[in-house]
């Protein structure tokens, strides 16, 4: 008889230390592990299965909107990285440099890609000759590396997995429409699959991507009120096209530069899932991307017929849902704690009494609500409850965001709100970077975005008193 595993150790409560709660969950739910390379993590099977489900969903959305996948080299020659001035200024300080191949010193350093605009542009210069070659709608799934000083699993790692879309278009309007479309794809993923409400908007010039004309963003609010930039979409105008000499013969038979976009979402989004939905019992996974949607835990497993029934249900339900059965010798109590830690959205309990009544118990992870369900109605009830968990998670996250979103019209109000509390602060803004810097210095806040849904909160910038141009949402960010 095998020894009983000890009960799952408790994790640090969120209210006590949110950062420690986060790393406890990452470790105890077996999402990631540290490696001997500073700042690089190992994504363990359970964490990777979440990424695979996100990847599968996003990739389907990309293909449905006409995009094709490609693969570009991992390494970028220094001279290529330098072709677009703003871009190299933004990225050169945070790249890793390959200087030797085998025992030979290289004549030109190669950086490990931090992002691949330069490689895509070089390729586009080869393959775009005529307006008939446009649009080019490419995407790539890969890992990128940025030499970060401080790192945290999923949220900020030197290496991370992501997808980067890179597209080229005949007209400015078409490229802007693509930038918006892909932001909407990201918002769709977050809201309808990850149960994370997001705020859509445009980044200020200070916060935009190196080399972009404009950057659109979706900003999510974590449980602790801090913001997480969850996906970005960039419009480049024809800046890179000019720098890389990408020209095509237009419909008017004249040479023209195409307009460009790029857009990316990374494994960082797993950090957003953890910090949006998790609780003091561990991870809470949104059902549509959970690797296991329902875990079957037999009660008094060795009593007549229980295990057999559990196995039969498992086989039956696997046809419709992602289902597992834990038939190990661990106690039901251990199993409850273990799959709560792992955030499995639903638990199915079945014991001798249930067998008699031809029923079982379904327990929701998010609110622990129990439902007794006749076995012949199981599929319909599971489908209903998975949707209910999704909706419940979304509503809870939305309420958290609403209760932590405030408007302010004076610096005093801003400072009072920002003092000790985290959340979104909406204010008007004059458009000057100096005021963003002042906001950072005085209130510790950065501009998250200029929301697409603008409100008129007043006529002046609360920082400098000059006429306001736009409404900005400020916050502390991961």
According to CB under 8 A, which one of 12, 28, 82, 98 is a site residue for a copy of itself?
Answer: 98
Does the footprint of a copy of itself cover residue 102 (CB under 8 A)?
yes
The SS3 of residue 238 is coil
Name the H helices within 301-445: 306-317, 332-341, 352-357, 378-403, 411-418, 433-443
- Contacts (CB under 8 A) with a copy of itself, residues 26-65: 33, 35-37, 40-45, 48-49, 51-52
Classify residue 156 by its DSSP letter.
Answer: B
Q: At closest approach, how far in Å is the CB of 140 from a copy of itself?
A: 8
Q: Which is nearer to a copy of itself, 80 or 435 (CB)?
A: 80
Residue nearer to a copy of itself on the CB measure, 102 or 420: 102
End-to-end alpha carbon distance in the chain = 47
Is 122 among the residues that bind a copy of itself (CB under 8 A)? yes
Q: Which long-range contacts (CB under 8 A, 24 or more apart) does 314-320 make?
A: 316/378, 317/348, 317/378, 317/379, 317/382, 320/379, 320/382, 320/383
Burial class (CB in 10 A: 0-12, 13-18, 19+), 38: exposed
132 counts as binding a copy of itself under rule CB under 8 A: yes
Is 227 one of the binding residues for a copy of itself (CB under 8 A)? no
Stretch that binds a copy of itself, among 75-83, 226-234, 416-424, 468-476 (CB under 8 A): 75-83
Closest CA to 231 of 180, 277, 281, 279: 180
CB of 142 to a copy of itself, least distance (A): 7
Q: How far apart are the C-alpha atoms of 144 and 114, rounded to whole Å?
A: 5
Rounded Cα gap, residues 104 and 448, in angstroms:
46
**H/E run at residue 202:** strand 198-202
Q: How far is CA 391 from CA 231, 373, 395, in A?
A: 22, 21, 6
Counting contacts by CB under 8 A, is residue 69 touching a copy of itself?
Answer: yes
Rounded Cα distance between 436 and 439, Å, is 5
**Taking CB under 8 A as the rule, does residue 460 contact a copy of itself?**
no
**177 contributes a contact to a copy of itself by CB under 8 A:** no
Cβ proximity to a copy of itself: between 94 and 280 the closer is 94
Q: Which residues pair with 265 in a beta bridge?
A: 163
Q: How many positions of this chain bind a copy of itself (CB under 8 A)?
A: 54
Beta bridge partners of 125: none
Kindly list the distances between the CA atom of residue 213 and the CA atoms of 209, 230, 261, 440, in Å, as whole numbers in the listed order: 8, 20, 10, 23
Which window, 96-104, 254-262, 383-391, 456-464, contacts a copy of itself (CB under 8 A)? 96-104
> Which residue's CB is nearer to a copy of itself, number 68 or number 379?
68
Q: Considering the complex, what minimum distance in angstroms separates the CB of residue 38 from a copy of itself?
A: 9
Minimum CB separation of residue 7 from a copy of itself in Å reads 16
Interface region with a copy of itself, contact rule CB under 8 A, candidates 119-127, 231-239, 385-393, 467-475:
119-127
6 counts as binding a copy of itself under rule CB under 8 A: no
Task: Determine the interface stretch with a copy of itself among 116-124, 217-225, 356-364, 450-458 (rule: CB under 8 A).
Answer: 116-124
- Answer yes or no whether residue 76 interacts with a copy of itself by CB under 8 A: yes
Give kind and range of the element (H or E) at residue 117.
helix 117-127
Q: Which residues bind a copy of itself (CB under 8 A)?
A: 2, 33, 35-37, 40-45, 48-49, 51-52, 68-77, 80, 92-103, 109-110, 112, 119, 122-123, 126-127, 132, 138, 142-143, 145, 147, 159, 161
């Amino acid at each position: 008889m095998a020894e009983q595993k000890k009960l799952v150790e408790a994790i640090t409560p969120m209210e006590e230390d949110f950062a420690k709660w986060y790393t406890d969950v990452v470790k105890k739910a077996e999402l990631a592990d540290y490696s001997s390379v500073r700042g690089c993590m190992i994504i363990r099977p359970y964490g990777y299965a979440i990424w695979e489900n996100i990847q599968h969903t996003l990739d389907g959305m990309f293909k449905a909107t006409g995009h094709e996948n490609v693969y570009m080299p991992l390494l970028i020659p220094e001279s290529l990285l330098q072709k677009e001035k703003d871009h190299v200024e933004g990225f050169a300080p945070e790249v890793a440099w390959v200087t030797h191949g085998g025992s030979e010193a290289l004549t030109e350093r190669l950086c490990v890609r931090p992002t691949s605009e330069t490689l895509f542009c070089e390729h586009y210069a080869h393959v775009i000759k005529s307006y008939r070659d446009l649009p080019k709608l490419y995407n790539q799934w890969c890992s990128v590396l940025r030499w970060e000083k401080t790192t945290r699993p999923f949220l900020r790692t030197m290496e991370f997995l992501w997808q980067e879309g890179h597209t080229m278009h005949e007209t400015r309007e078409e490229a802007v429409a693509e930038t918006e479309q892909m932001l909407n794809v990201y918002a769709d993923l977050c809201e309808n699959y990850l149960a994370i409400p997001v705020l859509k908007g445009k980044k200020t010039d200070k916060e935009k991507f190196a080399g972009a004309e404009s950057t659109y963003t979706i900003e999510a609010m974590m449980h602790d009120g801090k913001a997480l930039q969850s996906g970005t979409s960039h419009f480049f105008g024809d800046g890179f096209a000019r720098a890389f000499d990408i020209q095509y013969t237009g419909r008017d038979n004249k040479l023209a530069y195409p307009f460009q976009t790029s857009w990316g979402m990374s494994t960082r989004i797993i950090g957003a899932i953890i910090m949006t939905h998790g609780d003091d019992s561990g991870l809470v996974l949104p059902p549509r991307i959970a690797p296991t949607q329902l875990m079957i835990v037999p009660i008094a497993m060795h009593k007549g017929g229980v295990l057999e029934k559990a196995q039969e249900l498992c086989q039956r339900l696997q046809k419709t849902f992602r289902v597992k059965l834990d038939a190990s010798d661990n106690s039901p109590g251990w199993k409850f704690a273990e799959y709560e830690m792992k955030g499995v959205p639903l638990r199915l309990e079945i014991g001798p009494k249930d067998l008699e009544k031809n029923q079982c118990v379904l327990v929701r992870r998010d609110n622990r609500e129990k439902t007794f369900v006749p076995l012949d109605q199981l599929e319909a009830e599971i489908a209903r409850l998975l949707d209910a968990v999704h909706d419940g998670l979304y509503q809870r996250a939305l309420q958290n965001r609403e209760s932590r979103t405030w408007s302010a019209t004076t610096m005093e109000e801003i400072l009072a709100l920002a003092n000790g509390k985290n959340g979104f602060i909406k204010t008007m803004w004059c458009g000057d970077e100096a005021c963003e810097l002042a906001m950072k210095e005085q209130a510790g806040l950065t501009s998250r975005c200029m929301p697409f849904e603008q409100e008129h909160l007043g006529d002046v910038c609360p920082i400098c008193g000059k006429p306001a141009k736009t409404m900005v949402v400020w916050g502390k960010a991961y």
